[in-house]
Amino acid sequence: MFLRGSGAPTAHLSQRRCISTGVFEHPPFKYRKRHAFNTLPVHDANRFGGRSAYLREIGPFDHKKKGRQFKRDPGTVQFNVDVWSAQQTLRKQWKKRDWTVVELPFALAPKEMQRVIPELYTDVPIPTNSAKGDYSNLRSKVYDRETLQEALYSGARPYPEIVRVDQKALTLDKFL
């Protein structure tokens, strides 16, 4: 169960095999050069957060006899770059979260959470309450700490109640 904030990462779906944009595409191997007075190597540790150093072979070597096979396959190299980009995106989404995960007994949990929730990625997203028209994902449900403080702090109320403001009451139509 999540407290505070929105907290759900969004999934980006695409029909293409490679979903990375032009910014995250690894340069082709024909541009692999040594460091010269007018050329910087593109397969150095300054690209993709230092991860591209894993894709570089140091020193002269014979491609037909030596060298790592996964470094020579552009599809595998691009897959690694895509994975690293996705890891950084997930890390940034996790760092900006403003909620914490708490555990509650089944009887003290909110009513929509008192049900069997299947394992993650084994079922379609579960609607919160389809009978009342709430089709939001039950796994991304976030509750305010003030609404759960009786269950969290065993009847005590250390936080004041949240004052809900009616947005319709804030309109200036009645004063015009």
pLDDT tens across 96-119, in order? 888 888 889 999 999 999 998 888
pLDDT tens digit string along 48-64?
A: 777 777 777 666 667 67
Q: What is the pLDDT of residues 16-37, one digit of tens each?
A: 455 545 556 766 666 565 666 6
Instruction: Judge contact between 25 and 117, C-beta under 8 A.
Output: no
Confidence bin at 41 (pLDDT 50/70/90)? low
More confident residue, 33 or 156: 156
CB-based contacts of 91-94 (< 8 A; 24+ apart in sequence): 93/9
CA pair distance 102, 157, nearest whole angstrom:
17
Q: What is the pLDDT of residue 78?
A: 84
Sheet containing strand 142-143, strands side by side:
100-101, 2-3, 142-143
Task: End-to-end CA distance of the chain: give it in Å, rounded.
Answer: 45
Taking the C-alpha atoms of residue 75 and residue 67, their distance in angstroms, rounded to an integer, is 16
**Percent of the chain residues topping a pLDDT of 70:** 65
The per-residue pLDDT of the chain, averaged, comes to: 76
